[in-house]
Amino acid sequence: MRCPSCGGDIRIQDKVCPYCGMPNQEFLKHQEAMQHYEKEFEKTKTDVYQETEKTKRFSGRVLVIAGLVVANVLALLLVFNSYNIVDMFRTSAINAKLSTYQSGMDKLLEDGDYVGVYEYYYANDLYSADGLRNYSSVMDVAGDYVAVLRGINKMIIAEADQKEKDEYDDPAEYVANNLESYFSVSSASYFVDEARMKEGHEEYVADMQEQIRQMTKTYCHITDEDWESFKFMSKAGIQKILEERAA
């Protein structure tokens, strides 16, 4: 590059001409351009940093939202499946001690302690164990046995203590209700299903049925004919006979 004043050879970075001392206009332009570029660069750099920061913050929030959506879905599944989850743990705990429970049930049945076996079955939630499915028929009858027994006991105590008849807790109605249920269960076809009845349980079922008959005869003062007719009667019909015999 040549100096416009003396024609001497100058470089762009020379502030003045080294030969005549004339200020180098190209240098000034160059300096201005450099300052402009530097400013532009700084601005671009700041913009890039800000954009990156903004994107980072946005992505962070989106990530948190995604995490929360997943957590909500899992919590919802937990809520809807809480019974199944608890049941799964309960069943596996029962299965771990299945033989103990089975021998406990067998012992109570052998002793003829049908109230005891019914309580044992429900107190230990044994109805949820697949391994004890073949106890379900005997437990159905035990349920009726306990229900009829409870009603008859209510009747006995109410009569002995001369309790006034309660509109919401009428022992005769309670017994009639359970006898009707008993007859409908014991005559149902599923009752004799072998899958639901363990071998040897027929004996306990027969014993419970006989005891239900005997206790109803003894404490409700019914005749054999009454008993036979109960099988075909509605709850109201059974209740009517029970009340007539009690009078």
Partner 1 sequence: MKKKSHIGLNIAITLLSISFAVLLLIGIAMFRSNSYSRSPAKEESMYYYVRSHDFFELVNHVDSNNSLGYQPTDNEKEYYALADCYENAFRYKMYLDNGEKDKAAACLQVVQDAEEQTGILSSEVDYIKELFGIQAAA
Residue 201 CB, nearest distance to partner 1 (Å)? Answer: 19
Phi-psi region of 14 (alpha: psi -120 to 50; beta: other; left: phi over 0): beta
Decide if residue 71 touches partner 1 (CB under 8 A).
Answer: yes
Decide if residue 88 touches partner 1 (CB under 8 A).
Answer: no
132 vs 149, beta carbon nearer partner 1: 149
49-62 in b/e form (b: 16+ CB < 10 A) is: eeeeeeeeeeeeee
Quote the DSSP letter at residue 194.
G
Residue 112 CB, nearest distance to partner 1 (Å)? Answer: 9
Residue 57 CB, nearest distance to partner 1 (Å)? Answer: 7
| Residue spans of alpha helices (H) in the chain | 25-80, 82-96, 98-110, 114-123, 136-160, 171-186, 201-220, 224-230, 235-246
40 vs 113, beta carbon nearer partner 1: 113
- Bridge partners, 2 (sequence order): 9
* CB-count burial class (<10 Å; 0-12, 13-18, 19+) for 111: exposed
Decide if residue 113 touches partner 1 (CB under 8 A).
Answer: yes
150 vs 240, beta carbon nearer partner 1: 150
Q: What residues make contact with partner 1 under the rule CB under 8 A?
A: 54, 57-58, 61-62, 64-65, 68-69, 71-72, 75-76, 78-79, 82-83, 85-87, 89-90, 113, 115-116, 118-120, 123-125, 146, 149-150, 153-154, 156-157, 160-161, 211, 214-215, 217-219
